[in-house]
Amino acid sequence: MKIVFASTPGQEEKVVELARYFYTDIFPLYFSDEDIHEFERLEVLHTRPEQFERFSTLGDAFQVITSMQTLISILESGHIPEKYQSMFRKNVQTLTDYGICFPFNYSQFSDSKHVHLDYISTYTKAANSLLL
């Protein structure tokens, strides 16, 4: 008999949190608000309950979480060394295998694409919650 442990609600929440992080902290570094709005329309990194069924075990959920965290680490490094290209592709493939849309390739995040350093995106998290 084989015992398989199901993914937890906490893991599912973590996947949603990481997807939200892409939209608020990663995508605004590389894409315009119009592009990001289009990603939302295309359901990039969007998760639905039926998608969580595709990674129903603890191991599957950890693979998805780890792939998203790895992609975040690579993309936050600023200059993306060429040596991370295969790691990038591997983690994108893992997300795709679990039904999570991440339709980007490595070259879309190259330094030349790192845009809007002085641009304030509407997707970026607010620095504070004080309203005047």
Tens of pLDDT, residues 49-85: 766 666 667 788 899 999 999 999 999 887 777 778 8
Kindly give the parts of the chain with pLDDT less than 50: 132
Radius of gyration over every alpha carbon of the chain, rounded to an integer in angstroms: 16
- At 120 the pLDDT is 62
- Between CA 10 and CA 40 the distance in angstroms is 23
What pLDDT does residue 4 have?
A: 53
Distance of CA 129 to the CA centre of its chain: 24
